[in-house]
A and B are shown apart, each in its own frame.
Chain A
Amino acid sequence: MSSASHADSPLLEPLISMLMDGDTEAALLEARRVRAAGAAGPTEVVRALEAAMDRMSCKCTAEQFNLLEIMLAGRTVTAVAHDTFPEGSVPSTRGTVVIATPQGDVHDLGKNLTRMVLATKGFRVVDCGKDCPAPVMIQAVAREDAFALLVSGLISPVVPLVRQLRGLLRERGLSAVRLLAGGAALQQCSAEALNVDFVAGDAFECARYLEGLKADRP
């Protein structure tokens, strides 16, 4: 869903701004007000969450991306989502993905951001954590019936593990699972060099790729 599709919701603009500013306290109050305003309340809140993420995505493509601003917005988005859907998060309608930071790497800021962005966009995200061995990722993909495996790596020693993932998926009969890579070290490499389907420059590019895949699926 593009940001243009939210332009017809001026009543949501205050909430969208609060989400983007990372003003959790104000955003929670405004989201509750929106929910109380009508039967479509929770749906409207979800639209605002998606709009905020879409606009952050536009900032990224304009080369203004920085982790701190996205983290602050993400923290607020997560708080509003949990407040709106206390039983879980935004309803998952776009399928399951598994995400991990590979064994040998404990830098998981990028992974955590990607998890938040995807969850807000309606993906069910199974997080295998950081310093994660390849077999744990493969088991999670099989167990959760995921359609994609995402790996985020900041440092170069994780490259050999990433290159092995395709073969390990194939051995488990999971050849159809899409493999995505991102993070400071991995994004320097081509998809071919990493033996993956796609290398994402940031969390939003990852989301756009997955949204495109879902649109292509029957």
Chain B
Amino acid sequence: MSGLERVLAAVRRTGTRVPAVPQIFGHAARTGGVPLRRYLTDPAALARCQVAAMEHYATDAVFALFDASVETEALGSRLRFPGDSYPIIERYILERASDVARLPLPDPRRAGRMPVALEAVRLLRCEAGDRALVAGCVLGPMTLACQLMGAEPALFAAIDETAAFEQVLDFSVELALCFGTAQLEAGAHLCIVFEPSASPAVVPPAFFRGLLKPRLRRLCEGLKRQGALASWLHIAGPVEPILPYYRDCAVEIANLDYCVDPVRARAAAPDLCLAGNIRPMAFLDSGPEVITEACAQVLREAGQGFLLSSGCEIPLDARPECVHALVRAVRP
């Protein structure tokens, strides 16, 4: 059984071996000896590092995932790459929510680093084929709104200028569908919808239900129509209060952060494939024995339909022996 087949079996809840899908993004640059900025701007470097990490750690997935600024950069926000770190937005493209009416949808083949992302997907699929899941990524509407305006102005706009803010959310869905479709055409098996700003730590569950749920449904269903093999929603933090809405969002794989109890999550969303939930910083500040114990516990508790993963991104400078420990938990 290939990594891709293991993941899809977990989604269908028919698998016998839990897939190992640690969220290795920029950490692959570290293990590959490539400066992060090059990894984030050179599709060949990203693809080479991802495949090397997959083979080294024997994981079941590769990720064409750059940073949370690809979309906003493509629309005209100005970035800065500080040292060997993820980029920082220096100037947001939207000063006011209502300005979104002037923003054209970008062409993924030309705008900013979107072509870099598409080429990375193509190279990854060429290299990994169907041996492993090839995951692309789009930002969810709330997260993209925050990346277009800045988090604080976006959150205030959501309350003070709700109608204009909803236009930003709708524009963000259209952009995600456009960029996601291009990634699927380039060879991604699915696109993770990365939506940390929709976390109940940021906005109340009623906000999620009213403003975000219908848009996430439109996005997830749209990506499935374009050929995604599954829909994967990635929201970090304490998601338990919104998990019951995921089914209405057409979500099939739900990320679980370290602070979410897998037993309660399973009760809240019995039909979902869950992915998580090892504490990300444990890969940095703990030994492999801590990871082994945490994996054993979550594997006991999560039930059928589960991807063993970190609760969020594996830290850039994670201890490799800790990543090995996660994989060994399902591949003795």
Chain A residues engaging chain B, CB cutoff 8 angstroms: 22, 63, 65-69, 71-72, 75, 103-104, 106-107, 109, 112, 131, 155-157, 159, 184-185, 188-190, 193
Give the CA-CA distance A24 to B156 in the complex, in Å: 13
Measured between beta carbons, the chain A residues less than 8 angstroms from B316 are 156-157
Are the CB atoms of B156 and A65 closer together than 8 Å?
Answer: no
Does B315 have its Cβ within 8 Å of any Cβ on chain A? yes
Are the CB atoms of A72 and B159 closer together than 8 Å?
Answer: yes
Closest-CB distance, B200 to chain A (whole angstroms): 6
Measured between beta carbons, the chain B residues less than 8 angstroms from A68 are 155, 158-159, 202-204, 207
Closest-CB distance, A77 to chain B (whole angstroms): 15
Are the CB atoms of A156 and B201 closer together than 8 Å?
Answer: no
Measured between beta carbons, the chain B residues less than 8 angstroms from A71 are 152, 155-156
Are the CB atoms of B204 and A66 closer together than 8 Å?
Answer: yes
Measured between beta carbons, the chain B residues less than 8 angstroms from A72 are 156, 159
Q: Which of the residues A22, A69, A112, A156 comes within 8 Å of B204, measured between beta carbons? A: A69
Q: Which of the residues B89, B155, B158 comes within 8 Å of A106, measured between beta carbons? A: B89
The 4 residue pairs across chains A and B that have the minimum distance between CB atoms: A188-B281, A156-B315, A193-B285, A67-B202
Measured between beta carbons, the chain B residues less than 8 angstroms from A131 are 82, 88
Nearest residue, chain A, Cβ from B258: A188
Does B57 have its Cβ within 8 Å of any Cβ on chain A? no
Are the CB atoms of B281 and A109 closer together than 8 Å?
Answer: no
Q: Knowing A65-B201, A107-B151 touch, does A156 contact B85 (C-beta < 8 A)?
A: no
Taking each of B156, B202, B285, B313, which has the highest tally of chain A beta carbons within 10 Å of its own beta carbon? B285
A-B pairs with beta carbons under 8 Å apart, 19 shown = A22-B159, A66-B203, A67-B203, A68-B203, A71-B152, A71-B155, A103-B82, A104-B85, A131-B82, A156-B280, A156-B284, A156-B313, A156-B317, A157-B86, A157-B315, A159-B284, A185-B280, A188-B281, A190-B285
Taking each of A66, A104, A155, A157, which has the highest tally of chain B beta carbons within 10 Å of its own beta carbon? A66
Give the CA-CA distance A72 to B281 in the complex, in Å: 31
Closest-CB distance, B260 to chain A (whole angstroms): 12
Given contacts A67-B201, A159-B284, 7 further A-B contacts (CB under 8 A): A22-B159, A65-B201, A67-B202, A71-B156, A109-B151, A109-B152, A157-B315
Q: Knowing A68-B204, A68-B207 touch, does A104 contact B82 (C-beta < 8 A)?
A: yes
Are the CB atoms of A104 and B83 closer together than 8 Å?
Answer: yes
Closest-CB distance, A65 to chain B (whole angstroms): 7
Q: Which of the residues B89, B202, B315 comes within 8 Å of A66, measured between beta carbons? A: B202
Give the CA-CA distance A184 to B315 in the complex, in Å: 13
Q: Knowing A66-B201, A68-B158, A157-B85 touch, does A185 contact B281 (C-beta < 8 A)?
A: yes
Measured between beta carbons, the chain A residues less than 8 angstroms from B155 are 67-68, 71
Chain B residues engaging chain A, CB cutoff 8 angstroms: 82-83, 85-86, 88-89, 151-152, 155-156, 158-159, 200-204, 207, 236-238, 258, 279-282, 284-285, 313, 315-317
Measured between beta carbons, the chain A residues less than 8 angstroms from B151 are 107, 109
Q: Knowing A66-B204, A67-B201, A157-B85 touch, does A75 contact B156 (C-beta < 8 A)?
A: yes
Closest-CB distance, A101 to chain B (whole angstroms): 11
Measured between beta carbons, the chain A residues less than 8 angstroms from B202 are 66-68
Measured between beta carbons, the chain A residues less than 8 angstroms from B285 are 159, 189-190, 193
Are the CB atoms of A156 and B86 closer together than 8 Å?
Answer: no
Give the CA-CA distance A193 to B85 in the complex, in Å: 22
Closest-CB distance, A166 to chain B (whole angstroms): 16
Are the CB atoms of B279 and A188 closer together than 8 Å?
Answer: yes
Measured between beta carbons, the chain B residues less than 8 angstroms from A184 are 201, 236-237
Measured between beta carbons, the chain A residues less than 8 angstroms from B200 are 66
Are the CB atoms of A189 and B281 closer together than 8 Å?
Answer: yes
Measured between beta carbons, the chain A residues less than 8 angstroms from B281 are 156, 159, 185, 188-189
Measured between beta carbons, the chain B residues less than 8 angstroms from A159 are 281, 284-285, 315
Measured between beta carbons, the chain B residues less than 8 angstroms from A155 are 86
Measured between beta carbons, the chain B residues less than 8 angstroms from A63 are 238
Measured between beta carbons, the chain B residues less than 8 angstroms from A109 are 151-152
Q: Knowing A68-B202, A193-B285 touch, does A112 contact B85 (C-beta < 8 A)?
A: no
Taking each of A69, A104, A106, which has the highest tally of chain B beta carbons within 10 Å of its own beta carbon? A106
Nearest residue, chain A, Cβ from B208: A66
Measured between beta carbons, the chain A residues less than 8 angstroms from B159 are 22, 68, 72
Closest-CB distance, A41 to chain B (whole angstroms): 29
Measured between beta carbons, the chain A residues less than 8 angstroms from B204 are 66, 68-69
Closest-CB distance, A36 to chain B (whole angstroms): 28
Closest-CB distance, B70 to chain A (whole angstroms): 17
Closest-CB distance, B134 to chain A (whole angstroms): 25
Closest-CB distance, A162 to chain B (whole angstroms): 12
Give the CA-CA distance A67 to B200 in the complex, in Å: 9
Closest-CB distance, A100 to chain B (whole angstroms): 15
Closest-CB distance, B241 to chain A (whole angstroms): 9
Give the CA-CA distance A131 to B87 in the complex, in Å: 12
Closest-CB distance, B145 to chain A (whole angstroms): 13
Nearest residue, chain B, Cβ from A103: B82
Give the CA-CA distance A71 to B202 in the complex, in Å: 10
